[in-house]
Amino acid sequence: MRLDLFTLFPEILSGYLGQSILAKAIERKLVEVHLHDFRRWTKDKHQSVDDRPFGGGPGMVIKVEPVVECVEAVCNALPASGRLILLTPQGRRLTQPIVEELAAESSLQLLCGRYEGFDQRVTEILQPDEISIGDYVLGGGEVAAMVLVDAVARLVPGVLGDQRSCVEDSFSQGNRLLEFAQYTRPREYRGYQVPEVLLSGNHEAISKWRREQTLERTRDRRADLLDGSGDSPVEPDRS
């Protein structure tokens, strides 16, 4: 999968992309990431990317020309057309089914805003798919883009060691249940024990315990996931 990220602060992104699962995915060429700085597309000597809003008001607005010209140049040079996404609190809310839909694309272009956002003509001209990561306002779209990239990249075949770990994810297609509790060594810590059944070697009993955990946790913490559609929850196939 190819990812093109457009931002005024590429360093915010390169730090995150250089660690852990994402860094390995990039090194193994399962994910290819290109960072683009709008500032390089400015034409004035001060390299200004923002300006005061027409009509007055606080803050600054990102200018239309460097953004549109940068995105168009990159998109026109792509080997295949991808999907352009603008991270904004005004977009539709990101969910696991949307993440799955995006993971099926061969390339994504992510636009990260700052300040009071982009000049409205950026949206009118480029017509991006507008996505929000939740009902709160961040200082910029970079962290939101990293949330999206992190969630999408782990679904790219080969990125996770064991592909089952994402098939069983909470919120993935057909699974509206939270995950069961996990334990590792030691068996006892400060008097807290690992549940006996997990040490029993009895796979049937372990599956039953996990199924029960999953239902109980969902009922306690996110009952809305169970009663949302009125359907009985679909359990993931853990075989």
Residues of this chain that interact with ligand ADE (CB under 6 A) are 87-89, 132-134, 136-138, 141, 144
Q: At closest approach, how far in Å is the CB of 88 from ligand ADE?
A: 5
Q: At closest approach, how far in Å is the CB of 118 from ligand ADE?
A: 11
- 131 forms beta bridges with 92
Do residues 89 and 123 touch, judged by C-beta distance below 8 A? no
Q: Does 169 qualify as catalytic in the annotation? A: yes
For ligand ADE, the closer CB: 84 or 177 = 84
Catalytic residue among 37, 50, 142, 169: 169
Q: Does 116 qualify as catalytic in the annotation? A: yes
Q: At closest approach, how far in Å is the CB of 137 from ligand ADE?
A: 5
For ligand ADE, the closer CB: 80 or 137 = 137
- Locate the DSSP E strands across 73-218: 83-93, 107-112, 129-132, 188-189, 192-193
Q: What is the CB neighbour count within 10 angstroms for residue 163?
A: 12
For ligand ADE, the closer CB: 144 or 152 = 144
Distance CA 142, CA 10 (A): 9
Please state, in angstroms and as integers, the Cα–Cα distance from residue 212 to each residue in 167, 177, 196, 217, following that order. Answer: 19, 11, 15, 9
Laid out side by side, the sheet with 129-132 consists of 32-37, 2-7, 107-112, 83-93, 129-132
Catalytic residue among 39, 154, 217, 222: 154
What totals of helices (H) and strands (E) does the chain contain, helices first? 9, 9
Distance CA 38, CA 36 (A): 6
Q: Strands 2-7 and 32-37, how do they pair?
A: parallel
Do residues 103 and 149 touch, judged by C-beta distance below 8 A? no
For ligand ADE, the closer CB: 91 or 160 = 91
For ligand ADE, the closer CB: 114 or 176 = 114
Q: At closest approach, how far in Å is the CB of 140 from ligand ADE?
A: 6
Q: At closest approach, how far in Å is the CB of 89 from ligand ADE?
A: 4
Q: Which two tokens stand for residue 43?
A: 């034409």
Q: Does 154 qualify as catalytic in the annotation? A: yes
**Residue sitting closest to ligand ADE (CB):** 144
Give the residue numbers marked as catalytic. Answer: 89, 116, 154, 169
